[in-house]
């Protein structure tokens, strides 16, 4: 079992200007959460990208095809956090681990990914 330490960013409001602050061409994994009425933030989507800024920006455009994500974004305060990871295997494993932990409603399928790589999720 390989163990990798990810440095997760602070939970940040999901809006255009905060996403634009992600350094250009940063590869890594991310997750989106919403503020619930109970005051907690629950994860509704997990993903990975070669360019986190570009990918997360796509989610908050009108052209986003995932209607589940769109619904959360327009109806609730949303947040994101990410971790930089260049290795595709580490990204796949982190995405898989997040999927298993959070069972995010807006992920259409189990992302797959190696289960012999362990990462921290916080």
16 is an interface residue for another protein by CB under 8 A:
no
* Alpha carbon of residue 22 to chain centroid: 13
Residue 62 Cβ, how far from another protein at the closest point, in Å? 26
Of the residues 83, 92, 111, 113, which one makes contact with another protein according to CB under 8 A: 83
67-19-75 Cα angle (round to 5): 35
Of the residues 16, 17, 23, 67, which one makes contact with another protein according to CB under 8 A: 23
What φ, ψ does residue 97 adopt, rounded to 5°? -65, -40
CA–CA gap between residue 4 and residue 6 (Å, rounded): 6
Residues of the shown chain interacting with another protein in the complex, contacts defined by CB under 8 A: 2-11, 22-23, 26, 28, 33, 36, 40-44, 79, 81-87, 90, 101-105, 109-110, 119, 122
């Amino acid at each position: 079992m390989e163990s990798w330490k990810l440095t997760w960013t602070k939970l940040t409001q999901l809006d255009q200007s905060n996403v634009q602050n992600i350094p250009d061409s940063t590869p890594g994994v991310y997750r989106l959460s919403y503020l619930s009425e109970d005051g907690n933030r629950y994860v509704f989507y997990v993903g990975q990208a070669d360019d986190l800024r570009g990918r997360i920006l796509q989610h908050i455009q009108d052209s986003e095809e995932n209607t589940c994500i769109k619904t959360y974004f327009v109806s609730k305060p949303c947040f994101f956090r990410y971790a930089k990871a260049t290795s595709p295997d580490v990204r796949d494993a982190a995405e898989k681990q997040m999927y298993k932990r959070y069972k995010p409603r807006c992920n259409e399928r189990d992302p797959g990914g190696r289960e012999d790589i362990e990462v921290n999720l916080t």
